[in-house]
Every structure is written in C-alpha cells, then in structure tokens.
Structure 1
Amino acid sequence: MIDVTDHQGIAVLTLARGPVNALDLELLTALPEALAAVEGAHAIVLTGSGRSFCAGVNLKRIVEGGVQYIEKFLPALSRAMLALFEHPKPVVAAVNGHALAGGCVLAAACDLRLMSAGTIGLTELAAGVPFPTVPLEIMRHALGPALDTLMLRNDRLNAGEAAAIGLVHEIIEPGHLLTAGLRRAEELSAVPPEVYALSKLQLHRPARDRIAAAQPQDEPHVLKIWSSERTAQSLRDYLDSLRQSR
C-alpha cells in the first residue's frame, strides 16, 4: 500500500494502491503509520507508483460504502493530510503523474513540490462534494489567493501552468524525478532539525489556527453533504461521465 525505502537516511514513501493510488480508508490509515515509522529519517520524499501520483479520492468506495464508510473516511482524510503537513522533517513531493483532488492536496501538504508528468488540480466541486476544513486550509497555505481560481474552476494544470501559480516549485524530466527529489530533500535536511521543525511550525500556525476555528462549525455541514443521497447520485453521474470520456 505504501512502499518505504531508505536512501542514506532519506525515506522514500511510494504510494502503491493501484491502479492510480486513489485515496481510500486503508491508504489514509496507512499514511500516518508510515510517517511515524520513519520519524528517524533526515527527510522524506513522497511519490507514486505507476502513471499517477494520486488520482484523488476513491469515489466508488464512497458510493458503495455509504454513510458508515464516509463517517470513517472523512476524519481519516483529515488525519492523514495533517500528519503529512505537520511532519517536522523536510518533506518533498515527487509528483510523477496525475495529482488530482485529494492527490493535489497531498502534494500541497509537502514542503517542496517537484513534478515531471501528468496534471494537477482540484476537481472536488466538479464531482459535487465540498472540501473538508483540513484539505482546504492546506491548499490555502500553499496557494494563497490563487486557490480561488483553481478550486472554483476545477482546473487541471500541466506542470508549467502549476509552476506559474506556485503549486509546483520545479519541473523535472521524468527519468530524473526521484534523483532530484532526493537531492532537494538532502539540501533541506542540512538545516538543524530543531530549527527546521520550529520554522515549519511557525509558518503553518496561521493554517492551524484557521483549522481550529472553522472545523467545529464546518465539518458537520461537510459530512451532511457528503452523506446525502443527492451527493451519492452526483458521484454516480460523475463516475459515469469519466467512464464515457475514456
């Protein structure tokens, strides 16, 4: 589900939930566990297996699982995103392919984002579901005012377009992505760990304050919409449209 390898003190976490590394309850549970298991690493590189970095939420599981699944899934989604966002060591995203919806948020939760292929963007509204508080505030931290356009227009950007708005920091040739990710992780880990951790905490504090303020009032509404029959039908229609477009 998540393959972990060590490269001279840098942990490479590879999402391996084929075929497109879609986010389900099991993968979201595994991510904080994997991060805890490599807490002694100097830095982390997060990447995907196959043609995708992460194609977002496994919507089929949402539809099939219904309310009981959603009630477990949404908190797991927030915990996994926060575990990545708050990890005290340097975290580099090596985006090897499509990073959509939740996959885009995973990349945004990393300190530095390199991209070599595919498209990246937020497609939640096109699918008919709202953002939970944690993913939304992670994206706001990463993008600032540029988030409005990306989120409301459901844009899927190529690497160049993503770099132009700051969603991606570097564009890398596909065959050199992991090497570049390891090099950038090593450079970031040259900062004393306690200095890096504190600096990261200070940078993230506004996002955490917004999460603490908004979560109690927003999350019940998010859960209600995700759990509604209207949303289930919207997701069925969206999945049908994806199948027809292939």
Structure 2
Amino acid sequence: MEAPLNYILSAKGTVIGSAAEIALAPVGDLTQIHFLAPCDLQAVKACGVTFASSMIERVIEEQAAGDPQKAEAIRARIAAVIGENLRDIRAGSAEAAEAKKALIAEGLWSQYLEVGIGPDAEVFSKAQTLSSVGTGADVGLHPMSKWNNPEPEIVLAINSKGKIVGATLGNDVNLRDVEGRSALLLSKAKDNNASCSIGPFIRLFDATYSLDDVRCAELNLRVEGLDGYILYGHSLSAFAHIYSLYFAHFEGGFEHLQSSQKQRYIHLV
C-alpha cells in the first residue's frame, strides 16, 4: 500500500469500545474484547546485536555456554575491555576492521562481534505469520528455560519497498540459556508460541511524528513477578542496522535481566 496513512484517515470504521476499556479487559476472559497484534499477513523479522551493550551480552552468553551462574564472572572479566573499545565504533567502518584484527589477536573475537561491528547485520525470523500476540496477552516461555528475559523494543513497520511507514512497541521474548548454548539455536530461543508481543497500535508517520521521533524515544519497562518481585528498566532508543523487512526489531538494552518468572505484565510507555 503506497499511502497507508491516507487509507486509514478515509476509512469508515465501527466503534467497538474505547482503547482504555479494551486495555483493562481481564486476560483470558473470552467475553471481552482484546487487542490483537497490529500485523497479520507478514512474518516478523528481527535485527540482533544492535547495541554495544547487547553485543557484549551475546559474547558473555557464548562464553558462559548458557549457564547463568558463570555469566557474572565472565561479564566482570571482559565487559569493560570490550565496551570501552567498541562502544563508539561505527559498524562496517575501517575502524571496525582494525578493531576486529586487534580482538582476534587477543583471542576475544566472536561471531556476535562480527554482526555487531561488521558490515552485515544479524537478521532472523522472530515470529511466523499470525503468531504474534497483542498488548495485554500472556507471552510464552518454553518450560525448559530457566534463564530468560523480556526485550522491550521499538518495532518498525516497513513496506515491501523498504520504506519505514510507522512504529509500534514489542516484546522480543528471549531464552538466554538456549541461545547461549549455540548461535545455531537462535530460532529455538526466539521463535516460540506467544514469544512475540506487538502493539497495541502502529503509529503511522505523518507531519507530526517521524523516524526522528522514534530515534529519541524512551522505553520504560515494569516487570511484576508472580512472587511479588518488581523490576523497572529504562532505555533511550538507538539505531544500528535498518533492513527492508516489513518488521524489524531494535533491542532496548535490557538483556542483563534474569528472571524465570512468567512475564505476564510487561508495560511499555
């Protein structure tokens, strides 16, 4: 569709309730109206390792082989070195190539660093067609996982010609203990039942809201565990690689979270 905004502005709809009322509908109550994901016939794609912090976390996962008990010690040993050296390097630049040579010489090079500062981004399938869940729905955690976390992200709506036409919010649920065992298990760690939450709406770009607004957006995260545990997170948006996929995720920098609790309440503002 060439002009989705014009189509929406001219569309004739039926009022089924206020957004506030729908958002408050109890989860699982089939007599109530609930939000569906605002994407339907498109597979959801994601771009990984788009922040220096997330790149470091991927290296830590790799070194820990999916064992959360080893992660803290490994983080303390390598995070400072990698972070200081790589934080300001532009992916694919001559400086990145020189950094790669230096890290290889030090025995610190990783496949995650390759996609973090190399010329090509990591792009993978996050969710199949019609498999995303909407705002307020329970997200899915595979029962075999003991080390997992929510990943609040800004989700870009991109048409078939590679043009970004809007943005929404998403939760890229991740099984860290699975991904950490091998990068070849990425799909098993990322693409599971109800492991992709998107919505509630796509904010189409217009004269009052554009990609520049997305670039300076702030994400606030609140996780309420069933045991009473409450966690808060905050992140500024940033971009690394942008690809011509219908949906591309950009990580919100909360990969350090560790929780085996069911991520029932994920509030993104």
- TM-score (norm: length of structure 1): 0.25
Answer with 1 or 2: which has the greater Rg.
Answer: 2
- TM-score (norm: length of structure 2): 0.23
Higher relative contact order (CA 8 A, sep 6+): 2
